[in-house]
Amino acid sequence: MKYWQSVRFKIVFGFLLIIVPIVAFLIYNNLYAMNVVRQQVSSNYNKLLSVNVRENDKILLEFVYYLLRLKQSDPDIASIKNLSAKDDGYTLAKIRIQNNFIGNSLGMNYNIDSLFVYNRKEDEIFLTTQYSGNSVSKQAALKDWTTRHLKNNTLAFSPEWETMKIGDIYYLLKFVDMGSEVFAGVLVRAESMMRGMDSFEVGSVGSTFLIDPAETVIADDDAFKPLQDEQFRKKVSEMKDSYGVVRQGGESYLVLSKPSAYTDFSYLIVMPESYILRNLPFFQKMLYVWIPLFMALLLSLYLIFLQRVMFKPLVELIRGMRKIGQGRLDVRLPTDQSSEFAFMSGSFNQMAEQIERLKIGIYEEQLRVQRAEYKHLQIQINPHFYMNCLNIIYNLAALKDFKSVQKLSLHLADYFRFLMQSHRSVVRLEDEVGHVKNYLEIHKLRYVTKLDYEIEIEPRHMNTDISPLMIQPFVENSIIHGFNRRVQDGSVFRIRIYSEDDPVAPDRFIRIVVTDNGSGFPPDMLRDLESNVYMAGMGEQHLGIWNILRRFKMLYGDEGSITFRNSETGGAVVTIRLPTSRTGQVDMDTEMAIEETAAEGDNDANDAGRR
């Protein structure tokens, strides 16, 4: 016998089949919680970053407007255009412009590093700066930059700002042509654009910085290690108006990027995920430590328990049976075990004493039991329905329609959850209708534009008791036969389920009607249904309907009925006349028989298509 056919394998596999989904759910739940935190942090910081970038772009645009206002309304600019450098008026205009820069601009806006005017005719540049330490270097660099660009005629007006480096400092530069070869400009330190980002909580190993497509980085913290990695800089410089996770040096970093509208720089926030999830140490420990340890410990204890309580007695029993099979009838098993195995060992010992006399009878009885068990297992599942569902899930996953995959998985889980509970003799009509709805939703995902349904159950009928799987097999019959055999003319196949008070005895009965617009019942089958042939037969050919009629008869006796007919339009109509309460006619033995029949017919009903 192969190992996977052994009881040991099946028990362990069954245990894993139960515990693994639970562990997987715990892991998924932890990952989901961390992902929610990550998304919330990303969303909040992205909003803050967007506000900061908009404000900085607004400031840069205001500087441009300021230069344009100088061009249009400042009389001193006009004097610079029209006077010679030797004129006293030229000198006074220059002084007034510098005083204006100091009083009205530099004093009012800390973002401005310098304001300057360049007179090309006089080849003179006069600069007003808040940081005088490198004013000579600034003046020389601006003069050189302006000369080169005027020579190449590249000073056409644009709201875009240029980037230049003076010494070790990066600046944002904006020039405006005032006319008559006079130009005015603003110089802004690039690092001043980051002042609004100082308040962002990024942790001790996080950073905020600016970066351009050439991977030029401007950061307050030059010791931020990931920025020293060329691949990391390349990845973050390629991010435009987005956020994502970048791995570097064994650490995952959450990166948020927002480009400036008027410069080549993008504003970035980089935070390690460990900092983001610092308030979730329990989830992290559960995910990486406690869940695997718990799983290993539980499995070990379970295997030890099974070895002592079940596997060892089973091995002794198997060995004894093998010896009996070899003709050694003197073998005896110990009975100092758990009550079940003690009983089995005692029975085995009695069997060994009577084996010669009972060998043939017991062998035949075992064959009958095996046949019954095989038949029981055979009718428990509808493999076609299960495989169709898996195929639908596969196709939806291939199309990346994950919402539909989730929806189908939930309906399928609810469908089989009901089947596992359908050993009960009765359930509420509300539960049966929910099961039918899950079944129809699964098929509707398969036949999106070809199948539709309508369920109209009166709320006052929802608490009525009904035998489980009493309605669903008829719905399945409609799909298998009415839908598949109908002429495909492009119209939608419709199934309608509704309830109403019984017109004869509304206080004692309700009616549940299942209709479709398919091909209806074949005449010979409808004739058999009306003549109770199905109840008289053994159900081998029409197992689903036979099972339903039998359970209905056992549960309600002569009260109520199930009738079949074809509608005037040709579709099938099944009417269940259901008592609102059971009488005392069903005794305890019958109740047990009903539960046994329902257990045998849980998925019997799924084969109801074999009319």
Bridge-based pairing of strands 242-248 and 251-259 is: antiparallel
Reported pTM: 0.43
Q: What is the mean pLDDT of residues 214-242?
A: 77
| Token pair in block for residue 99 | 């005083």
Alpha helices (runs of H) in 244-331, residue ranges in sequence order: 273-276, 281-285, 291-306, 312-325
* AA identity, residue 260: S
For the stretch 410-446, pLDDT in tens is: 888 888 888 776 556 788 999 999 989 998 988 888 8
pLDDT for position 370: 47
**C-alpha to C-alpha distance for 192 and 112, rounded to whole angstroms:** 9
| CB-side neighbour CA atoms (13 Å) of 233 | 17
User: Taking all residues of the chain, what is their mean pLDDT, rounded to a whole number?
Assistant: 76
**C-alpha to C-alpha distance for 519 and 501, rounded to whole angstroms:** 28
Of all residues in the chain, the percent with pLDDT exceeding 70 is: 77
| Token pair in block for residue 344 | 């089995």
For the stretch 556-587, pLDDT in tens is: 878 889 999 998 888 899 999 999 876 544 44
Confidence bin at 459 (pLDDT 50/70/90): very high
Interacting residues of 400 by C-beta distance below 8 A, sequence separation 6+: none
Which domains are seen in the chain, by residue range?
74-191 (3.30.450), 282-378 (no CATH), 383-607 (3.30.565.10)
502 contacts 508 by C-beta, under 8 angstroms: yes
Q: Which of 202-216, 400-414, 497-511 has the lowest mean pLDDT?
A: 202-216
**N residues, the chain:** 611
pLDDT for position 575: 94
For the stretch 89-125, pLDDT in tens is: 878 887 887 777 776 655 556 678 888 888 887 778 8
**C-alpha to C-alpha distance for 306 and 408, rounded to whole angstroms:** 37
277 contacts 284 by C-beta, under 8 angstroms: yes
| Token pair in block for residue 567 | 């509608």
pLDDT for position 258: 86
Confidence bin at 61 (pLDDT 50/70/90): confident
Q: What is the mean pLDDT of residues 530-551?
A: 62
* AA identity, residue 242: S
Confidence bin at 533 (pLDDT 50/70/90): low
For the stretch 187-205, pLDDT in tens is: 888 888 887 777 777 777 7
Report the SS3 class of residue 154. coil
pLDDT for position 461: 92
Of all residues in the chain, the percent with pLDDT exceeding 90 is: 8
Determine whether 299 is exposed, middle or buried from the number of CB atoms within 10 Å of its CB (0-12, 13-18, 19+). Answer: middle
484 contacts 449 by C-beta, under 8 angstroms: no
CB count, 10 Å around CB of 52? Answer: 21
**C-alpha to C-alpha distance for 326 and 195, rounded to whole angstroms:** 91
